[in-house]
Chains A and B, each alone.
Chain A
Amino acid sequence: MDGFTALYIFMLAAFTGYEVISRVPVILHTPLMSGSNFVHGVVLIGAMAALGHADPDDPVQLLIGFLAVFLGAANAAGGYVVTERMLGMFKTREGKEGGAK
């Protein structure tokens, strides 16, 4: 990728991130932190690419690649479950009876 194109992407993404959450109420801080934690779980696809291009005859590369995919998958799956559970609890007055234990 062209260096300057990358820089433009970086700049725009940074502003987007800042804008997207700039008016978030305090009650959503924790779920949002957890949600953004889930989003960077997309590192999984990078780890898959790294493992997929590792030399199948080099155990060191395979081991590190395996760990990277393992950790990335855990980040994504765990981040999703935890965020979903937290947000599932946000109910308004009408729905309060549904509050799970």
Chain B
Amino acid sequence: MTSNWFINASYFGVALVFILGLKAMSSPVTARKGIIWAGFAMIAATVVTFFLPNLHNIGLMVLAIVLGGGLAWWSGKVVKMTDMPQMVAIYNGMGGGAAAGIAAVELVRGVQHSAMVSTLLVLGAIIGSVAFSGSCVAFAKLQGLMNKAIRLPYQNNVNFFLTLITFGIGLTIGYADSPGGFEIFLFFALALALGVVLVLPIGGADMPVVISLLNAFTGLAVGFKGFVLGNPALIVAGIVVGASGTLLTQLMAKAMNRPIKNIIFAPLTGEAAESGAEVEGTMREASALDAAALMRYGQKVIIVPGYGMAVAGAQHKVWEMAQLLEEGGVEVAFAIHPVAGRMPGHMNVLLAEAGVPYDKIFDLEEINADFAQADVALVIGANDVVNPVARTDKSSPIYGMPILNADLAQNVIVVKRGKGAGYSGIENALFYKENCRMLYGSAQSAISEVITHVKALEA
């Protein structure tokens, strides 16, 4: 398509820098550099594209870039760190929408392609549309606009036939000489509906995996568009993201012990959640003073932060408390479950934001053996990831999920807003255990109180 040597050479460089950037982003030391390189490559790619031969509608193009880029730039700057996952979801959806839009323009123009390219055009259009509408639903769920998992009757059949019909219509218009406007419209409406139907029944707890999957989808759609437009830079960038996104999805699903097919085809529902065994015993309350004394006079404290801490914005307070304890000679470590927060790694970002250094943060495999030697495990706003039924109760829906063995510590203190069950709706057996005390209150105020008491003990 582009005969211009300069443009082709630039696109080649851009694709290369994207790969190097992603490679750099997979190590904590070089990650920051990676995204900055990739950013320069993106700017270069955009500028060079203006020099494509026979380009029309330049004014409209600049307007769209300024509006879209500006709005997203601004929203990305102001969003709170806890809301990051849904922002990733919505930006990803926009990329999918752009890919679908490219397909729509090609179809409306009625450009003739070979059979293979037509197939890829249609496939890319479907995948892009699904990524777009699916990401919008994911955004709405994480943003709390849509809390219930909605399950259609005969969900799997609906999915199957909708996919089939969409694909059928897509191929018809893909191979047609000049497809009618109505058919094109119907095709995209169905593809968008498919995305909604696929994501609607999936609960919030599985959303990270879904976002990652949709991210891989968008990459694939972009790659297919590269074939259609004859642009190898799009192919390479898209397919690289498609492949790495698929791997990332698998890693996340593995960390949650939820095979991808179970998430898509058999979402965790309320009924399943209730099938777990009843929990015996009572919950015992602790005061902030008890908590402060237990930790201050202990040797080793392991803090297990969860999403509850993040939404309360208590990570700064928690780190302040940890520093106080360390000054008093107590060994403090943070234990991060792979899915703490809303996405793998999300909690690390939130703790890093508060200034907690790397070497205090441990992941599940590194720290699980240490709980038995810990005097106190302080669980802040985490629930399902420390629920021992995942080890013991075969009937529980979370059975087999790797958990942090907080219950093995000498004492467990759980900071929690109220007595409710966790995100998955499952009762937590930990709260009823002999060595566990509940410290009720929002993470922010509870930890502040603990800090006051720790300081008083110092004096």
Chain A binder among B70-78, B193-201, B384-392: B70-78
Q: Once the chains are docked, how many angstroms separate the CA of A64 from the CA of B21?
A: 31
B60 to A, closest residue via Cβ: A66
Q: Is the CB of A47 within 8 A of B343?
A: no
Q: Is the CB of A77 within 8 A of B28?
A: no
Return the CB mask of B407-439 against A: 1 if under 8 Å, else 0.
Answer: 000000000000000000000000000000000
B212 to A, closest residue via Cβ: A33
Q: In the complex, how many angstroms separate the beta carbon of B69 from the nearest chain A beta carbon?
A: 4
Return the CB mask of B53-65 against A: 1 if under 8 Å, else 0.
Answer: 0111110110111
A:59-101 near B, CB below 8 Å: 60-62, 64-93, 96-97, 99-101
Interface residues on A, range: 35 or more
Q: Is the CB of A74 within 8 A of B52?
A: no
B:28-50 near A, CB below 8 Å: 28, 31-32, 34-36, 38-39, 42, 45-46, 49-50
B381 within 8 A of A: no
B181 within 8 A of A: yes
Complex contacts, B114 vs chain A, CB 8 Å = 3
Q: In the complex, how many angstroms separate the beta carbon of A2 from the nearest chain B beta carbon?
A: 11
Q: Once the chains are docked, how many angstroms separate the CA of A89 from the CA of B35?
A: 13
B170 within 8 A of A: no
Pick from B11, B38, B76, B235: contact of A35, CB under 8 Å: B38
B:213-244 near A, CB below 8 Å: 215, 218-219, 221-223, 225-227, 229-244
Interface residues on B, range: 35 or more
Q: Is the CB of A96 within 8 A of B248?
A: no
Return the CB mask of B347-364 against A: 1 if under 8 Å, else 0.
Answer: 011001111111101010
Q: Is the CB of A33 within 8 A of B239?
A: no
B:63-117 near A, CB below 8 Å: 63-73, 75-77, 79, 81, 84-85, 87-88, 90-92, 94-95, 97-102, 104-106, 108-109, 114, 116
Complex contacts, A13 vs chain B, CB 8 Å = 223, 235-236, 238-240, 243
Known contacts A20-B240, A21-B26, A36-B241: does B227 contact A1 (CB below 8 Å)?
Answer: yes
Q: Is the CB of B71 within 8 A of A74?
A: yes
Pick from A44, A46, A50, A61: contact of B226, CB under 8 Å: A46
Q: Is the CB of A1 within 8 A of B230?
A: yes
Q: Is the CB of A42 within 8 A of B234?
A: yes
B22 within 8 A of A: yes
Q: Once the chains are docked, how many angstroms separate the CA of A1 from the CA of B226?
A: 10
Q: Once the chains are docked, how many angstroms separate the CA of A43 from the CA of B221?
A: 9
Pick from A68, A81, A91: contact of B98, CB under 8 Å: A68
Q: In the complex, how many angstroms separate the beta carbon of A56 from the nearest chain B beta carbon?
A: 5
B291 within 8 A of A: no
B226 to A, closest residue via Cβ: A46
A:1-35 near B, CB below 8 Å: 1, 3, 6, 9-10, 13-18, 20-35
Pick from B105, B239, B252: contact of A65, CB under 8 Å: B105
Q: Is the CB of A26 within 8 A of B345?
A: yes
Task: Given A44-B45, A49-B52, output 17 extra A-B contacts at Cβ < 8 Å.
Answer: A30-B343, A38-B35, A38-B42, A40-B218, A43-B99, A43-B218, A45-B46, A50-B102, A51-B60, A51-B64, A52-B61, A56-B56, A70-B67, A70-B68, A72-B68, A81-B73, A84-B39
Please provide the 7 A-B residue pairs with the shortest distance between their CB atoms, ordered closest to farther: A68-B101, A17-B243, A81-B76, A78-B72, A99-B355, A73-B68, A72-B98
**A-B contact list, 13 entries, CB within 8 Å:** A28-B27, A30-B346, A32-B25, A40-B215, A42-B237, A43-B218, A45-B231, A51-B61, A61-B109, A64-B101, A74-B71, A81-B76, A82-B79
